[in-house]
């Protein structure tokens, strides 16, 4: 079966690839590291508008991510600043779940781990930031003939696509925040998504507020996060 679900041998085409020298690859890799090293999760946003074209381009990047059997088990819902009522409902739904989490469901150890980050159940950025992108997982889809097609490694694939999306938005000059209220079923209702899709996360994107601050944290060094054999 081909990658598009049809029978017969897979269709192929020549790979488009740019061969670079070792020196150029090292420079590019280090430059990208330096850029991503400056990426931080931001909770204080400016309401300054961000062009839709920027978000569209970033979502296109996410859509290039690898996925199990190339079934692309993701769906992105972008919510701009115009629909204030929907943004308010999303914030209210998220804060209901977050307040329950912080006050009743969260283990003591989890709250202790969150304490240095200064987070709580209040999520004003869901209304302030110019863009929210709700990412959904599709555990299965429908073939052209209507039969159900299982999506393999759906969660892993959507996680990779979300990483691409975050990197693309940062590369464009924006800041982001990954928000995962639990449970997130209210997003299906508010965003009119089918029941077989599962919310993966809410990605907040925009410009940082002029007085934005971030926790003073460090990253683990290479010799801690990687081994060489």
Residue 118 confidence (pLDDT): 85
- Average pLDDT in the chain: 94
What does the pLDDT average to over 27-46?
Answer: 97
83-101 in b/e form (b: 16+ CB < 10 A) is: eeeebebbbebbbebbeeb
pLDDT digits (tens, 9 = 90+) for 14-31: 999 999 999 999 999 999
What does the pLDDT average to over 96-100?
Answer: 94
Residue 2 confidence (pLDDT): 46
What does the pLDDT average to over 63-86?
Answer: 96
pLDDT digits (tens, 9 = 90+) for 124-168: 999 999 999 999 999 998 888 888 999 999 999 999 999 999 999
pLDDT digits (tens, 9 = 90+) for 173-192: 999 999 998 899 999 999 99
Residue 5 confidence (pLDDT): 52
Residue 1 confidence (pLDDT): 40
What does the domain layout of the chain look like in residue ranges? 41-209
> What fold characterizes domain 41-209?
NADH Oxidase (3.40.109)
Whole-number percent of the chain with pLDDT over 70: 97
């Amino acid at each position: 079966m081909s990658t598009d679900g049809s029978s017969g041998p897979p269709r192929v085409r020549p790979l488009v690839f740019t061969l670079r020298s070792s020196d150029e690859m090292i420079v590019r890799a280090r430059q990208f590291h330096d850029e991503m090293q400056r990426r931080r999760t931001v909770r204080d946003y400016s309401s300054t508008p961000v062009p839709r074209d920027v978000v569209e381009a970033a979502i296109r990047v996410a859509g290039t991510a690898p996925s199990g059997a190339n079934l692309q088990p993701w769906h992105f819902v972008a919510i701009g600043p115009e629909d204030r009522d929907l943004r308010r409902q999303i914030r209210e739904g998220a804060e209901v779940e977050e307040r329950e989490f912080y006050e009743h469901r969260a283990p003591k150890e989890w709250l202790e781990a969150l304490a240095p980050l200064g987070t709580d159940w209040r999520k004003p950025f869901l209304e302030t930031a110019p863009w929210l992108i709700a990412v959904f997982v599709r555990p299965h889809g429908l073939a052209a003939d209507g039969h159900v097609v299982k999506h393999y490694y759906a969660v892993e694939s959507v996680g990779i696509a979300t990483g691409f999306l975050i990197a693309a938005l940062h590369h464009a000059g924006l800041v982001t925040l990954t928000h995962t209220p639990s449970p997130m079923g209210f997003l299906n209702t508010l965003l009119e998504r089918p029941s077989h899709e599962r919310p993966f996360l809410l990605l907040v994107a925009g410009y940082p507020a002029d007085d934005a601050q971030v926790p003073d944290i460090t990253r683990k060094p290479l010799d801690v996060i990687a081994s060489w054999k």
